Amino acid sequence: MLEIRNLHARVGDHDILKGLSLTVNPGEVHAIMGPNGSGKSTLAHVLAGREGYEITEGEVVFEGRNLLELAPELRARAGVFLAFQYPVEIPGIGNAYFLRTAANAIRQARGLEELDAADFLRVMREKLKLVKLDEKMMQRSVNDGFSGGEKKRNEILQMALLEPKLAILDETDSGLDIDALKIVGDGVTALRSPARSFIVITHYQRLLDHITPDFVHVLYQGRIVESGDASLALELEKHGYGWLEKAPAR
């Protein structure tokens, strides 16, 4: 589904990703862990198409297409979803209206009929249960005045509505209390399917208590330096990232 080969990315004259390779097959959940500054969020942004990154080497192929050539909205329509670490607040755009506009843009790209307001409301109510958000919040502006946890749950709600093939969760656990963490984790688990893959980017192991990954990768200085199964996350939790400095990247 996703093939990242020898990816190099920089911001200004600062090299951040230095030869990252990763293969994600349908249905797999990959956790990417690593200390601050290792390039985790850059990877997420580069995959989603945020401006400001220069790709100097390597390629990203998503279902046979060169992902890096596509505008962000075309990546989303192709089935790539990024759950933001810092979801933006947009006063003046109603949440429900935003969600319907997004859902219909994706549906249109998939050759499905657009949902009218009533149909959409039914679908949205169903998905709201998954993330335990109050319907009243949908009448407010996008993320406007939402707590940190509510914003992250709103991200998972968007993921549920847009039904991506590949979901990238960028530190979705940051700023969450235990209850919100469970809701987010359960929400993601409910969305797991043989056709849907996840890249879960996280600093800590705790989200992985709720989302059991098939693979865990350690990102350090812009490269994956260690890969393993779910047990690797527990090792990291126990030993921290300090050992990476002693054993320089391969």
Partner 1 sequence: MIDPALREQALARFGALGYPQRGDEAFKYTNVAPIAERAFAPGEPGEPRAATLPGLEAAMVFVNGHLAGRGASPYVAPLGAPEHRALVQAHLARVAAFEQFVFCAENTAKATDGALVHVPAGTSVEAPLHVRFEARGGAGYPRLLVVAGANSRVQVVEHHTGEGEGLANAVTEIVCGPGASVHHVVVQDQAPSAFHIGRVAVRQDRDSRFVSHHLTFGAALSRTDLRVCLDGEGAECTLEGAFALGGTQHADNDTFVDHAKPGATSRELYKGVLNGRSHGVFTGRVLVRPGATQTSAQQSNPNLLLSKSAHVDTRPQLEIHNNDVKCTHGATIGRLDADSLFFLRARGIDFVEARRLLVAAFGGEIAERVAVPGLCEWLYERIAAVGGAQ
Residues in touch with partner 1 (CB under 8 A):
48-51, 71-73, 75-77, 81-82, 84, 87-88, 90-93, 98, 101-102, 105-106, 109, 141, 158, 162
- Nearest approach in angstroms of CB 141 to partner 1 is 8
* Nearest CB to partner 1, comparing residues 151 and 223: 151
- Nearest approach in angstroms of CB 178 to partner 1 is 27
Q: Which residue has the tokens 């046979």?
A: 64
**Residues 83, 159: contact at Cβ < 8 Å?**
yes
* Nearest CB to partner 1, comparing residues 76 and 219: 76
User: Where do runs of H (alpha helix) occur along 63-147?
Assistant: 72-78, 95-109, 117-131
* Nearest CB to partner 1, comparing residues 81 and 220: 81
Q: Hey, is 128 helix, strand or coil?
A: helix
* Nearest CB to partner 1, comparing residues 63 and 237: 63
DSSP bridge pairs for 22: 4
**Alpha carbon distances (Å) from 33 to 194, 202, 206:** 23, 5, 11
* Nearest CB to partner 1, comparing residues 76 and 130: 76
- Nearest approach in angstroms of CB 227 to partner 1 is 27
Residue 238, CB half-sphere, CA atoms under 13 Å: how many? 5
- Nearest approach in angstroms of CB 162 to partner 1 is 7
Dig out the tokens for 230 from the structure. Answer: 């779910």
* Nearest CB to partner 1, comparing residues 142 and 233: 142
- Nearest approach in angstroms of CB 197 to partner 1 is 17
Give the separation between CA 61 and CA 2, rounded to whole angstroms: 6
Sheet with 80-83: list strands edge to edge. Answer: 80-83, 166-170, 197-202, 29-33, 215-220, 223-228
Between 178-191 and 117-131, two packed helices, what is the crossing angle to 10 degrees? 120
**Residues 241, 72: contact at Cβ < 8 Å?**
no
* Nearest CB to partner 1, comparing residues 82 and 216: 82
User: Would you call 132 exposed, middle or buried from its count of C-beta atoms within 10 A (0-12, 13-18, 19+)?
Assistant: middle
- Nearest approach in angstroms of CB 95 to partner 1 is 12
- Nearest approach in angstroms of CB 127 to partner 1 is 14
